[in-house]
Structures are given as structure tokens and as C-alpha cells.
A = this chain, B = another copy of it.
Amino acid sequence: MKCLIIAAGKGSRLRQRGDSKPLVPILGIPLIERVIRDAMEAGADEFYVVIGYQGERVRLFLERLAERLAIRITPLVNDDWENDNGLSVLKAREHLREPFLLLMADHLFEPSVVRSLTTLTLTEDEIALVVDSNTCNPLVDMGDVTRVKMEDGKIHDIGKGLADFNGFDTGVFLCSPGIFKALEQTKGPGDSSLSAAVRILAAKGHAKAIPTSGFWIDVDDPAAFQKAEQALLRRLRDKPNDGPVARYLNRPLSVRISRYLVHRDVTPNQISLFSFLCSLLAAGLFMLDGYITLLLGGVLAQFGSIIDGCDGEVARLKYQSSDFGGWFDAVLDRYADAFLLFGLTWHLLAEQTNGWILFVGFMAVIGSFMLSYTADKYDNLMRERIRAGGKAGLRIGRDVRVFLIFLGAAANMVLPVLVLIAVVMNVETLRRVKMALDG
């Protein structure tokens, strides 16, 4: 699916960031790159970008981006960029003869917002606009947003000054080439904005409204920029697989660290490795005599567990997620857990040689492994059952395990914690086996 992006405006209200607006980086990635990558995730594969203000710099950036992502990006120049944005859309007239996505370079969105359009079929001359139906959306700048009045799935009216409205223009469109004809009609001394063209189509009943409650934001000024950054970070915390410790302790901290890391030149795999080295060092500290090193090791283990969240977060913020990255992280985590538990076992055995301690240490390692081992298979097997309305099982993960290790070290109660881990992890594994066999 082809995608047209309007990136011609000056964006003067964000100018203190010192760059052409489409190139302003947010959490390490320029706005226009975020729009293109999210559109790609929603199914777009060929791009036309209308450039104007500081066009040459944007064009150079897009050239390198196209190479990096192995996609086609065609720049279209609008020298009349100081005029209404409808003129920018018209620049693409010759290139787009089938339905296409129309996006704004300064409107961020989650891919699902665009995806709600990609399955639509338009009749000739029709367009569809995703409309934010949440009129209390705190991300919206009420003074500047374009308001929409929807009725029966169609746009009834659209404009900034609308008094009677039930939604907001998200700037995410699916257009048939009919949009160009409507834009031609607006040309002249009057209002030749995109909204004006939409109004013409709406009057004929040719403008569909697709309501959404998904994330989107118009990054128009410094206040919106801050809101957008916060929203992107907050979305990192909505991970359904997170256990309780991850959700309430690790994530809030790791997100803050990730916010710093996205501006540094570190890869997610390097973060995974650093987190692993923290655990390894913690295990080494556990093996030494005395409480101080034990405590230090516990703190370091918990710190490593927090950092362990950053690899995935940075990967998502910088569009670097990959199966291999996730796998690498998982393998390192298993080693880290095993070494931490080995360190604790050694700590105890150094005080007294005892077969039971050895057994408990082994069972803690085995249980931790089994829980991760069964999680993969279990998730796959259970997904269908859950989809069919069944209940998801308890998710005891790494977050809980390392937090218990931290508590045990801090409270100098290593044996009880090892016993607890050995029992809980193995019992949970057996519960999963039983659940699977009960089928």
C-alpha cells in the first residue's frame, strides 16, 4: 500500500529544537522516521513525502532512511509550503491513482490506528479519516486540534472552530484519488486546506469516519512534544507478560534509564550483556564470605534485573526489536539466574557442608530453568485455550525470582529463600504439567 506523508511545513512552534520539524528527534528517532516505521508496521510499503521548508535536509535524510530500511521513498517538492497544506497533498496527484494512506509527518500514532484503515474498501471519490472519539483525550491540545462531527460512520462537519463535535481529526487518512478533485475545487484565494477538501467530500457523503481510541498525538509545540515523549515511555510499561515485581518496581525504574539510553549509542544486545555481567559479578560477590558482599551482591542482582528491562524498551523505542535479540536476552537470563543461585548455594556450603543445602541449591536451579523452559511451550499451548475463554496460569518470572534473591541476601536469610525458590518454581512447573495433562 502506498503512503503519502506531508512534511512541508515549518513547524515554527518546535523551532527551538533547532531542526526542521520532521527531523526533530523524539526519544532518539526523528518524527518522520517514526511515522514511516509505524506506517510500515501497519502495512505501508512505498512512500511519497512532500517536502518544503528546509526541503534539502529532509530529502537527504529520507534518502539515507530509504537505504537503511530498503524501501522506496519518493520526495515531492512543494515550494509553496507557506500556504495551506492542501497544496502539498496536490503535489502527489500524478503519483497516486489508487487508494493510499495519507499521514502527517508530525502526527505520531500506534500502528493499530492506521491498520483500522488498511482493510477498508473505498468507492471512487471516497475518503476515510480516523477520528479520535475520546473527547477528553489529555494528549489533545484543545486550542489547536481540528474537531470533527461524526454521524452514522460519516463525517458531518470538520474544522478548528466547530462548537458541536464528537471527535478529533487524527491526521490519519485513507484516500481515493477523489481527494485531488476536491482539493482542486478549494484552490484559489480562499481556504485550500485539507480540511476544506474533506468538507466538500463530507457534504456529498463521501467522507467516512473511523472512530479510534488508540494512541495518537499531534507534536506541534514543546508541550505536545513532552506529552508525546511521556506517552511513548508510558506505553513501554503496558506489558501484559510482566509479573508483579516488573510492573511495580522494575519497569518504572528501567523506563527512566531507557529514556537516557536511547540518546546514547548502545544497542539492545549490549544492554543485555551489561545486565548479565551485573548478575555474574553479583554471583561472584555471593561466593565471598560475610554479609557486606552478600548485601552488595543482592543489590547488584536486583540492579541487573532492572537493567534487564531496558534492552527490550530501547529496542522498541528505536525499532530494533528482533527475534534474535529476544532469544539472546533469554539465554543470558537463564545463565544469570543459574549463576546467582549457584553463588547463594556456594555461600551456604562455605559455612557448612551439608547434603541438604546442596540438594536445595540444585532444586532451585532446576526449578528456575524448568519454569522458563515450560513458559515457552506452555505459552504456545495455552494461547489457544486462553483465546477460547480459559484462564491464564500464574506467571512467576525472572522479576520475582531475582527480587527474592535480593531480599534473601539483604535480610541475610539465604537458606529460606533458596528453599522458597526451589519449592515455588518446581511446584509451579508441576502445576503447569498437570494443567496441560488435564487438557
Q: Measuring CB to CB, which residues of chain A are less than 8 angstroms from any residue of chain B?
A: 269, 323-324, 327-328, 330-331, 334-335, 338, 342, 345-346, 349, 353, 355, 358-359, 362, 365-366, 369-370, 372-374, 376-378, 381, 429, 433, 436-437, 439
Contact = CB atoms under 8 A, between A and B. Distances in A.
A370 B436 contact: no
Protomer copies: 2
Nearest to A339: B366
B346 A358 contact: yes
Given A346-B358, A353-B353, A376-B376, A328 B433 contact: yes
Given A335-B366, A342-B362, A269 B437 contact: yes
A213 to B, nearest CB: 34
Given A342-B366, A376-B376, 5 more contacts: A327-B377, A330-B377, A346-B358, A353-B353, A365-B365
Interface centre among A331, A355, A370 (most CB of B within 10 A): A331
Contacts of A381: 323-324, 327
Given A376-B376, A376-B377, A377-B376, A369 B324 contact: no
Given A436-B328, A437-B324, A338 B366 contact: yes
Contacts of A335: 366, 370
Contacts of A358: 345-346, 349, 358
Given A362-B338, A381-B324, A437-B324, A372 B370 contact: no
B342 A373 contact: no
Interface SS of chain A: helix
Given A331-B370, A349-B358, A365-B366, A436 B324 contact: yes
Nearest to A368: B369
B437 A373 contact: no
11 contacts: A327-B378, A327-B436, A328-B433, A330-B377, A331-B374, A334-B370, A335-B366, A335-B370, A342-B366, A353-B353, A369-B373
Contacts of A342: 359, 362, 366
A216 to B, nearest CB: 34
Contact of A334 (B327, B355, B373): B373
A327 B269 CA distance: 30
A164 B182 CA distance: 76
A365 B372 CA distance: 15
A325 B327 CA distance: 25
Contacts of A327: 374, 377-378, 381, 436
A342 B369 CA distance: 15
A433 B331 contact: yes
A366 B338 CA distance: 7
